[in-house]
Amino acid sequence: MRPLDLLYIPLALATAPWWATKKRVGWRERLGWQGPKALSGGRKRVLLHAVSVGEVSALRALVPLLTPHVDVVVSATTDTGLARAHELYGKHEAAHPSFAQVVRFPLDFSWGVEKFLDAIDPAAVALVELEVWPNFVRECHERHVPICIINGRLSERSHAGYKKIRRPFGKWLRMLSWVGVQDRTYAGRFIDLGCEASKVLLTGSMKWDSATISAQVPGAEELAREMGIDRARPLVVAGSTAEDEEALLHASVPAGVQLLCAPRKPERFAEAARAMPGCVRRSQGVARAGDRFLLDTIGELRKAYALADVVVMGRSFGTLYGSDPVEPIAVGKATVIGPAHRDFQVMVDALVAGGGLEVTDRAGLAGTLARLLADGAARAMLAERGQRVIVAQQGASERYAELLLHEAGVRGGGGAGGAGGGGVEQETEPAAAISQRK
C-alpha cells in the first residue's frame, strides 16, 4: 500500500453515497482485474489511455500508424468512452489496421494499478491530453516503463486548480519521459507546474488528424430514413448540446426547418426531449413525421452531421467551455459555435482566421441560422475554407507514432511518420529531442 491509498480509501468511503446514486458497471475492471490476451506472439505493446469519447476519438489516426509495429491497447475511464473505443477499435479482426484491445482503466489504488500493469505489460504508455494519476505514473516510473502525455492540453481553469498542488503535481510530471502539447500556451502551463522545459514538445493537436475529409458518411441515409428526417427540407444538427441549449435551438431555428439535437451526456436525454416537445427519439426506433429529432444514442453523431445543412456546436452558449468543431467541418458542413469555447480556443481561432467557422452568441443565433440556411453558396464556402484549415494543421499523429515507437524500443517504425511533417510549427524536432535525452 502506498501513502496515497491512505487518502483514497477515506475519500472513497466519504463519497460512497454519491457513487451509490450513479449507475456504474465494471467494478472488477475498475479494481485492476483485467487484461488482454497476447495478440501477436511476442510483439511489444503500447498502451494509449483516453478518458472519454473526445480523447478516444482523437486516437483514430494514431492507432493504425502503430499497429503494423506493436500491439495496441486502448483504455478508457467512462462508460461512454469505453463504448466508443469498442466501436472504433474493438470490432475488427486482429489484422485490421485499427484493431486494438479495449480495456477499462483502473481506479488509482496501488493494488489495482499493479494488477492492471501486470496484465497489460506495456513497453510504453501514452496518456491522452492529461490524466496524470499519481500511483499509476509512479508505478510505470518504477517499472522503467516510459510514460508520456500526448495531445497535451491544460485549460486555464485546470492550470489554476493544479497550481494549488504544484509541488506534488510537478513531481509526478517530472516522472514522465516527455509531454507533447498542442500549442505554446499549454506548453507554458505545463512548465509552470513543474515539468522540465526540455521534456515539453510542441507537436500540434491530434484532433485535426482524426478528421476525415469526406462528403460521404456510411449509414447517414439509413439514419435519416429510420428517424423520419425529410431529406427535401433543411436540417440543423446541434452536436454535444448541454443544459438549456436544446430550448435555445428550438426557439432559434426558422419555421419549417428541421432540428436534430444530440446531447453530450446520456443522463440529459430525457431533459432534452422535454425541451423539444413531440420530438422523435432515435432510441425508440419508430420513424414518424416531425420537425424535432433527438439523437439519444452513442456513436451516430457523424452520421447526423452528414445530413445537416448547418451544424451548431453545443456546450458553447452557456457556462461551459465548448465542443470540438472539426468533425462536422470535415464532412463539409457549415458550422457555427457559441462564444463559450475556451477548451477549444486554439482550434476555433485557427478556423475563424481561415474563414471556416462562424462564432455567434445567443442573441445572434437565430439570425445567423436564417442567413446561412438562405445562402447555399455561403454555406459551401464556409465549409470549404474550414476543410483547408484542417488539412493544413494535420500531422501530429504521425509525429506521436514515431515518438512512441522509439519509446517502445521498436526500430522498424521510422516510416510511421516524420517529426517535421504536417503544418504545425514545432519548438524542436521531437525524435531528435527524445534521442538526446536517452
Residue 130 near residue 153, CB atoms below 8 Å: yes
Tell whether 238 and 381 lie within a shared domain. Answer: yes
Q: Averaged over 280-304, what is the pLDDT?
A: 92
Q: Give the range among 233-237, 389-393, 408-412 with minimum mean pLDDT.
A: 408-412
Tell whether 162 and 304 lie within a shared domain. Answer: no
Q: Give the range among 123-132, 280-289, 338-347 with minimum mean pLDDT.
A: 280-289
Q: Does pLDDT of 410 surpass 60? A: yes
In what order do the strands lie in the sheet containing 147-152? 101-104, 71-76, 45-49, 124-128, 147-152, 179-181, 200-202
pLDDT at 437: 39
State the pLDDT confidence band at 430, using cuts at 50, 70 and 90: very low
Tell whether 313 and 403 lie within a shared domain. Answer: no
Q: Does pLDDT of 416 surpass 50? A: no
State the pLDDT confidence band at 86, using cuts at 50, 70 and 90: very high
Q: Averaged over 245-270, what is the pLDDT?
A: 97
Is 265 exposed, middle or buried (CB count within 10 Å of its CB: 0-12, 13-18, 19+)?
middle
pLDDT at 97: 78
pLDDT at 370: 98
State the pLDDT confidence band at 24, using cuts at 50, 70 and 90: low
State the pLDDT confidence band at 432, using cuts at 50, 70 and 90: very low
Tell whether 190 and 294 lie within a shared domain. Answer: no
State the pLDDT confidence band at 7, using cuts at 50, 70 and 90: low
Nearest to 344 by CA among 78, 129, 80: 129
Residue 244 near residue 216, CB atoms below 8 Å: no
Tell whether 201 and 77 lie within a shared domain. Answer: yes
The β-bridge relationship of strands 101-104 and 179-181 is unpaired
State the pLDDT confidence band at 147, using cuts at 50, 70 and 90: very high
pLDDT at 26: 62
* All cell numbers assigned to 304: 447526423
Tell whether 36 and 121 lie within a shared domain. Answer: yes
Q: Is residue 131 part of a domain?
A: yes
Nearest to 408 by CA among 111, 69, 8: 69
Q: Which residue has the higher pLDDT, 206 or 437?
A: 206
Q: Is residue 264 part of a domain?
A: yes
Q: Does pLDDT of 285 surpass 70? A: yes
Q: Give the range among 87-91, 163-167, 177-181, 226-230 with minimum mean pLDDT.
A: 87-91
Is 41 exposed, middle or buried (CB count within 10 Å of its CB: 0-12, 13-18, 19+)?
exposed
Which CATH number fits the domain that encloses residue 362? 3.40.50.2000
Tell whether 48 and 77 lie within a shared domain. Answer: yes
Q: Does pLDDT of 246 surpass 70? A: yes
pLDDT at 401: 97
Which CATH number fits the domain that encloses residue 74? 3.40.50.11720
How many angstroms separate the CA atoms of 228 and 95, rounded?
38
Q: Averaged over 136-161, what is the pLDDT?
A: 94
Q: Does pLDDT of 331 surpass 80? A: yes
Give me the sign of the Cα torsion angle 402, 403, 404, 410: positive
Residues 6+ apart with CB under 8 A from 368: 336, 358, 360
Q: Which residue has the higher pLDDT, 298 or 331?
A: 331
Residue 357 near residue 335, CB atoms below 8 Å: yes
* All cell numbers assigned to 208: 485535426
Residue that finishes a domain, picked among 376, 393, 410: 393
pLDDT at 28: 62
Report CA 139 to chain centroid distance, whole Å.
26
pLDDT at 417: 41
Tell whether 129 and 88 lie within a shared domain. Answer: yes
How many angstroms separate the CA atoms of 273 and 261, rounded?
9
Q: Averaged over 117-146, what is the pLDDT?
A: 94
Nearest to 411 by CA among 421, 402, 398, 419: 402
CA angle, residues 321, 327, 329, in degrees to nearest 5: 100
State the pLDDT confidence band at 436, using cuts at 50, 70 and 90: very low
Tell whether 183 and 225 lie within a shared domain. Answer: no
Tell whether 143 and 236 lie within a shared domain. Answer: no
Residue 102 near residue 85, CB atoms below 8 Å: yes
Residues 6+ apart with CB under 8 A from 390: 208, 211, 213, 326, 329, 330, 356
Q: Averaged over 28-46, what is the pLDDT?
A: 66
Residue 60 near residue 98, CB atoms below 8 Å: yes
Quote the number of domains for the chain: 2
Residue 278 near residue 291, CB atoms below 8 Å: no
The model's pTM is 0.77
Tell whether 206 and 88 lie within a shared domain. Answer: yes
316: which strand partners? none
State the pLDDT confidence band at 23, using cuts at 50, 70 and 90: low
396-418 exposure pattern, b = at least 16 Cβ within 10 A, e = fewer: bbbbbbbbbbbbbebeebeebbb
Q: Which domain holds residue 226?
A: 220-393
Q: Does pLDDT of 18 surpass 90? A: no
Q: Identify the H or E element spanning 7.
A: helix 3-14
Report CA 240 to chain centroid distance, whole Å.
12
Q: Does pLDDT of 123 surpass 50? A: yes
pLDDT at 433: 43
Q: Is residue 215 part of a domain?
A: no
pLDDT at 54: 85
How many angstroms separate the CA atoms of 401 and 419, rounded?
10
Tell whether 181 and 273 lie within a shared domain. Answer: no
Report CA 305 to chain centroid distance, whole Å.
17
Nearest to 244 by CA among 189, 300, 318: 318
pLDDT at 131: 85
Q: Does pLDDT of 180 surpass 70? A: yes
State the pLDDT confidence band at 142, using cuts at 50, 70 and 90: very high
